Structure 1
Amino acid sequence: MGKKSRSSTSSPSTPNPEERKGFSLMNDDLLQNILSRLPATSFASAAAVSKAWNAACSRILSRPKLSSAVSLNPSPLVALQEVFDKVMSEPIRPHFAIASVGPGFYLKNVLQFMVDKLGSRTPIILSSVSGIIGRDALTHEFREVKWNYGHIGDEVSSNNGIVLTVGFVPGLKVDAIPLLGHNKAPQGSMIDDFVMDIKSYTSSVSGYTSPLAIIMIGDADVDQKPIIEKLDYAMPMETIIVGDERGQFVYRSADVPRNASTSQKHSLDAVALVFARDRDKAHGNCSFGIGDIEFHFALSNGVSAIGPRLKAVSVKVKASENVTWLTARREGQQEILDGQSMLDDIDNEMENHMEYVELYIGVTRRRNCSVGSDKPRLMTTLTLHGVEGGDEEYLYVDGVGIRTGDCFQFYHSDPKTALPSCRNVSSALRSLKLDWDSKCCLSKRAVVNAIDKKEAFGGFIFSCLGRGESFFGHLNVDSTPFLENFPGVPVAGIFCGGEIGRGYTGLTAHGGKEGSAHCPLHVYSTVYLVMSYASPAEH
């Protein structure tokens, strides 16, 4: 038998060029299908195998993504593992992480767990809150849960839980920037430094001085009003600012020098998660294949004005107790009213039902404001102060910053205002969706400017701890505007001790009665942050 030529045979392990070509083509789809089913940690490892695998992974993660989960497991360690396993069960590259927990969690331990899992370069904010909002990691049931505190003997019993959100936002840069207080420096100068740090970071990554959005957590023991007012002054209205005024938190910045530890000299007064455009991957830039991420703001109000407008006459400040004492007169009248007289008038207006509501005064403040060496500019803000009581001398309210001559009006918590306000938010979000759909249809008629439909890919909810089922008499009222307009879209939220919220919206916190006054800090409200995405134009 003659010897066979090499060309007439081929080893099963070394296919000829034509066979290799077909095999490679078949495996592109197969490889992408397999990689898309991997959990995030395995997906990250696969992306490093080869250029081909990295390209396949990039195709899978070509759009922004938010992954979120809630666990109410009574064991903090089990709950932490459950939410982490859920949010990382699909491909994602963490650009930031936000977690909120109940009182049974040790913040530093949870932060270290997240750093170990997500990497030291992932910006993280972790806070202890009064309740959480989101989908259960195991049952997928949507939950709004507030902690129930009670004492059994010497032990404290409470509900517990965690909500974890991880985001992938290509085309944006994200980092956590802290506000460090200093016992020898005035708060004003530290706030200026904080604002300039945010502007400097934004400028360095985007070329602009104003970010797209800020999610902020303030320390419960620090007066956040001057901080938020300075941010409100320094940032254009295009910059959306949301968050929790009174939290307890720890954080991790991608920039190591920003991870300053607190000491006897420094305190951690607030932290801001800053979202800015990436100058190296400009939105809508087809060369990078990156579309446009936008942030949208809405607000559900939960207080109603009551009684006449008043003007502060005598003001005394107890700074050590963070309390203000004041007398007032009705606008256009000379009679000076003491605290008890003012409260009696409000009680009469409410037909002797004042004991069933939370009472506040909304103070219209006109102040010159500046950052650093900027020329001062007059700003008008509406600040809300909780009423602590009154007697035959003074009305007592929490907080400072009220001056003689400031005008104010009483407000009270009101579910009859909050419920239709939630419906208004739902209607506003519905209109937003319709606007996206109409623009998509118009653009597709012009092939040159064709884009994919703009759609929501995630969101956050910040709701007052006084709201919820006990306030409305129904479950999940505050979540409904988001859920009914964006079903299946990940959303996470918390119950706050004070809601931070400012941005363009058709809904105003107090019906626009205060004219041009900004009200970036709210009570009995729910703040919504919706994140949307549109693919880049096709040419």
Structure 2
Amino acid sequence: MLSRERSQQLAVEEALESIAVDLQGEAPDLILMFVYSSQTDQYSAMAKAIAECYPDVALVGCSAAGVVGGGHEIEHEPALSLTAAVLPGVQVEVFHLLPNEMELLGDEPLMWRRRFGIEPAAEPSFVLFADPFTCDTNLLIRALDDSYAASPKVGGLASGGRSPGETQLFAGAEIHSVGAVGLVLRGNIVMDTIVAQGCRPIGAPLFVTWAENNVLCQLEGRRATEVLSELYDSLSFDDQKLFRRSLHLGVVMQEGEQEYSHGDFLIRNVIGMDPESGILSVGEQLENGQVVQFHVRDAATSASDLEAMLSRCKQDLGTARPEGALLFSCLGRGESLYGIADHDTNLIASSLGNLPIGGFFCSGEIGPVGGRSFLHGYTSSIAVFRPQYSQLG
């Protein structure tokens, strides 16, 4: 539910009234709350109002520079998004992790499983919201992948703050400015994931023949900048313009495929190049023998990529009916990319049906590519929820 009331008290009252109507008086098990960043000083009052209305609800969320709800995407202006869910047969747990706690847990799967009290066989799903200034998000998602390899993880970094302490994380009645909060869901629920990175390939897939950390030295035995220059000369005028302003490198996450398509590449920025030495620096650790392909991004490409990923999701769902979705979209998408409001929300609705969609605009998005979870940029990471089995059965 979405409220654009500038008064925080009126906003939460309006959103709660909408929830009561939509749920026909039934109490929700879960509410996700995303608040425009300038309104977080009233979070405690908002949380109190929600708790008074629904004493047993699990509440989680964060501050944001823009929120998603009620079929709309509201950017850079006051708004409150409450997404409520009735989840029969689902165990819902809200958690908060401090930075030093994550460091102590480290890369030990057994320690992380003890922390949550959940074994992989329970098939939990994770929704994560992290502070961009104090949380080692890469450590968090790597540790969760190692501890719960088959479990989906989605989410994003809280946005709207320019320095530590300016972004807020919500867990129940508590407000935090460090670490990460999140949800663990298990039982009668399936969380399908979509990661639309908004890029299309140019040129051909290439083998990395020399790389050191995030420095790409050779492709197919040739200097990286030489290959890149040759690729540029082969492009159309329009693609050359995109090349100059939005060049990215896609890294294949699952080797051995005969062909590569949407979702096979982890997209990372090309940070810089040195024509004299022939090297490129990119935003990802590279290894010799990996397959990579250069990519470009623009509004049309981002739209078609999301359409393709949604089409694949719809096909995979078959006759299963999704009940709701969460959208975690980059601050670089939205109106600034497409020139229109509600673009990604409308695409989701047109593909998967008119289901409730909540979420926010992130400083970084969490989602899986090739069986592993990553922190992305310029991405829409989407969670689509459905029951695992019918309650009527």
Common fold: TM-score over 0.5 = yes
Which residue number corresponds to residue 330 of structure 1? 219
SS in 2 for 1:329: strand
Letter matched to residue 250 of structure 1: L
Which residue number corresponds to residue 251 of structure 1? 170
**Aligned-pair distance for 1:430?**
4.4
Letter matched to residue 382 of structure 2: Y
SS in 2 for 1:353: helix
Does structure 1 retain, via aligned residues, the 8 Å contact 2:199–2:297? yes
**Aligned-pair distance for 1:391?**
4.1
CA–CA distance in structure 1, aligned partners of residues 112 and 34 of structure 2: 25
**Aligned-pair distance for 1:269?**
2.6
Q: Does 1:79 align with 2:8?
A: no
Which residue number corresponds to residue 161 of structure 1? 79
1:294-314 deviation line (CA, Å, top 9, x unaligned): 333334341123356364857
Does structure 2 retain, via aligned residues, the 8 Å contact 1:130–1:495? yes
SS in 1 for 2:39: coil
CA–CA distance in structure 2, aligned partners of residues 179 and 194 of structure 1: 16
Which residue number corresponds to residue 499 of structure 1? 365
Structure 1: tracts of 5 or more residues without a match: 1-68, 136-141, 148-158, 263-267, 278-291, 317-323, 367-380, 437-454, 503-508, 510-515
SS in 2 for 1:422: helix
Mapping for residues 284-363 of structure 1, pairs under 5 Å: 292-307=188-203, 309=206, 311=208, 313=210, 315=212, 326-333=215-222, 335=223, 337=224, 344=229, 347-348=232-233, 350=235, 351=237, 352-354=240-242, 357-363=245-251
Greater Cα shift, 162-171 or 71-80: 71-80
Q: Does 1:525 align with 2:379?
A: yes
Which residue number corresponds to residue 162 of structure 2? none
Residues 218 and 359 of structure 1: is their aligned pair in 2 closer, same or farther, counting only changes over 3 Å?
farther
Q: Does 1:389 align with 2:272?
A: yes
**Aligned-pair distance for 1:491?**
1.7
**Aligned-pair distance for 1:356?**
6.6
Match of 2:75 among 139, 146, 154: 146
Which residue number corresponds to residue 176 of structure 1? 94
Note the aligned Cα RMSD (angstroms). 3.8
Residues 360 and 198 of structure 1: is their aligned pair in 2 closer, same or farther, counting only changes over 3 Å?
farther
Residues 473 and 434 of structure 1: is their aligned pair in 2 closer, same or farther, counting only changes over 3 Å?
same
Residues 353 and 488 of structure 1: is their aligned pair in 2 closer, same or farther, counting only changes over 3 Å?
closer
CA–CA distance in structure 2, aligned partners of residues 311 and 235 of structure 1: 30
Which residue number corresponds to residue 26 of structure 1? none
Residues 404 and 424 of structure 1: is their aligned pair in 2 closer, same or farther, counting only changes over 3 Å?
closer
Which residue number corresponds to residue 114 of structure 1? 47
CA–CA distance in structure 2, aligned partners of residues 382 and 189 of structure 1: 32
Does structure 2 retain, via aligned residues, the 8 Å contact 1:179–1:194? no
CA–CA distance in structure 2, aligned partners of residues 528 and 260 of structure 1: 25
Letter matched to residue 220 of structure 2: E
Does structure 2 retain, via aligned residues, the 8 Å contact 1:363–1:402? no
Identity of aligned residues (%): 21
Does structure 1 retain, via aligned residues, the 8 Å contact 2:141–2:373? no
CA–CA distance in structure 1, aligned partners of residues 324 and 221 of structure 2: 50
Which residue number corresponds to residue 180 of structure 2? 270
Residues 231 and 387 of structure 1: is their aligned pair in 2 closer, same or farther, counting only changes over 3 Å?
same
SS in 2 for 1:494: strand
CA–CA distance in structure 2, aligned partners of residues 110 and 144 of structure 1: 21
Letter matched to residue 114 of structure 1: A
**What number of residue pairs does the alignment pair up?**
364
Match of 1:411 among 295, 306, 318: 295
Does structure 2 retain, via aligned residues, the 8 Å contact 1:305–1:410? yes
CA–CA distance in structure 2, aligned partners of residues 202 and 83 of structure 1: 34
Which residue number corresponds to residue 140 of structure 2? 227
Does structure 2 retain, via aligned residues, the 8 Å contact 1:302–1:417? yes
1:137-179 deviation line (CA, Å, top 9, x unaligned): xxxxx322322xxxxxxxxxxx221211122212111112223
Does structure 1 retain, via aligned residues, the 8 Å contact 2:132–2:157? yes
Match of 1:91 among 25, 34, 42: 25
